[in-house]
Amino acid sequence: MSAKQATEMLGISVATLYSYVSRGLIRSEAGEKDSRERRYLAEDVEKLLKRKAQRGSPEKGAREALQWGSPVLESALTLIDEEKLYYRGHDATELALTRTFEEVATLLWTGSWETVYKLFLQTVTFAIEPEIEGVPVPPLTRMHLVLALAADDDLRAFDKAALPMTGARILLLLERTISGVGGGSSAERLAAGWKLTTEADVRLIDAALILSADHELNASSFAARVVASTDATLYQVVNAGLSAIQGFKHGGNTRLVAAFWREVEAAGDPQPVIRAWLQRGERIPGFGHVLYRQQGDPRAAALLNLLRSSYGAHPVLAQAERIIQQTQKVIDRAPNIDFALVTLARVLALPEDAPLTLFALGRTAGWIAHAIEQYATGELIRPRAVYTGSKPGGGNI
């Protein structure tokens, strides 16, 4: 928008507008016709407008903050800035290429890589394979059950001075529960459980776990922090995260992506499937992210690039490229991490729920990190509600 439009919307002078630009509150760029004329990002102007409104109405501001709004908690874990993702100051996409999942988990929990081998050289003795009436239990349900049963046996989980050790035991337990394999790294165990044999496949699993590890105050991490704030153990914290991540507006979106992809495969062409979903009033799953409006989800870009370098000629990747190209023609949105995880699973011929399983296992590291951070505050997360029901004694508000 123009300077005139921006100043009128905000009710400020041009000088104040320039001040906001110099402080990085509003981004500007050269106009298309006249390079001397600056244009101002409407998104930034709208954010400032919302902040002003929140200062004038704190209750409204608090409500909006819980819906993609202003920050509500302090955290030193993850930064989403300028279309990039950082874990404790390190670019997550670079970590996915150069580090192991254990190293990244240790970084999130302790702020350092140094204790990684000490933490993860543990033996988990209470891994189980639950079944219900002889029917195999789905992966995430199995993770829930294992955590609930193991929590009663692991009295060390009450030691707040050794939280990273408990976190490592939980990750080892969950990975062994999913893979049925002991020994090796997280990625090696999962790869072996899924019958993957190459180093490139192990690297891809490692990258998927790392890129899924944390994403600031997402719904499941907020749920984890709330549970941690009650002084529940890390086992209960992770179980809360597992419950939240399965919703279709969170990690469960991978299941919608898989359903969409199956329709594309059956049709042999993405275009009629894209049309059908849009005509039904449904969004195309796996595309777009509210926090990455300009350049797209960097996690997806990193994982898809890794897939291209290892499986460039794979027919699934060719199909993925067609889906991306035709979807972006219609809705101009880049693929997100959900699409990339489903693409990975299809390329490697993994089980149906593998994308969500990978997402949940990776995010477990983040839930534990958020819990450790929340324990340190000693605070209970307990917001108040604005009552909108019937008044006592009859009548409506």
Q: Where are the domains of the chain?
A: 3-65, 95-378
Inter-residue contact 189 to 181 (CB < 8 Å): yes
CB atoms within 10 A of CB 253: 23
**Average pLDDT of the residues in 2-15:** 83
Q: Which residue, among 359, 353, 103, 345, has the nearest Cα to 220 in the 3D structure?
A: 359
How far CA 219 is from CA of 68, 85, 127, 245, 287, in Å, comes to 10, 17, 28, 8, 19
- Per-residue pLDDT at 46: 77
CA 53 to CA 78: how far, in whole Å? 27
| More reliable by pLDDT, 377 or 60 | 377
Superfamily holding 95-378: Citrate Synthase, domain 1 (1.10.580.10)
What's the pLDDT band for 21 if we cut at 50, 70, 90? Answer: confident
Beta bridge mates, 84: 81
The pLDDT tens digits of the residues spanning 75-105 come to 999 999 878 999 999 999 999 999 999 999 9
| More reliable by pLDDT, 42 or 325 | 325
Query: Is 56 a residue whose pLDDT tops 80?
Result: no
Q: How many CA atoms are closer than 13 Å to the CA of 84, on its beta-carbon side?
A: 11
Query: Is 395 a residue whose pLDDT tops 60?
Result: no
CB atoms within 10 A of CB 166: 22
Comparing 62-66, 69-73, 200-204, 306-310, the range with the smallest average pLDDT is 62-66
Comparing 23-32, 61-70, 335-344, 369-378, the range with the smallest average pLDDT is 61-70
Instruction: List the structure tokens of 166.
Output: 């408990």
- Per-residue pLDDT at 59: 55
CA 185 to CA 209: how far, in whole Å? 12
Instruction: List the structure tokens of 172.
Output: 């080892």
Question: What's the predicted TM-score (pTM) here?
Answer: 0.82
What's the pLDDT band for 69 if we cut at 50, 70, 90? Answer: low
CA 368 to CA 239: how far, in whole Å? 11
The pLDDT tens digits of the residues spanning 197-242 come to 999 999 999 999 999 999 999 999 999 999 999 999 999 999 999 9
3-state secondary structure of 120: helix
- Per-residue pLDDT at 385: 85
- Per-residue pLDDT at 171: 96
The pLDDT tens digits of the residues spanning 110-156 come to 999 988 888 888 777 665 566 666 678 899 999 999 999 999 889 99
Residues 6+ apart with CB under 8 A from 244: 219, 220, 222, 223, 224, 250
Query: Is 174 a residue whose pLDDT tops 60?
Result: yes
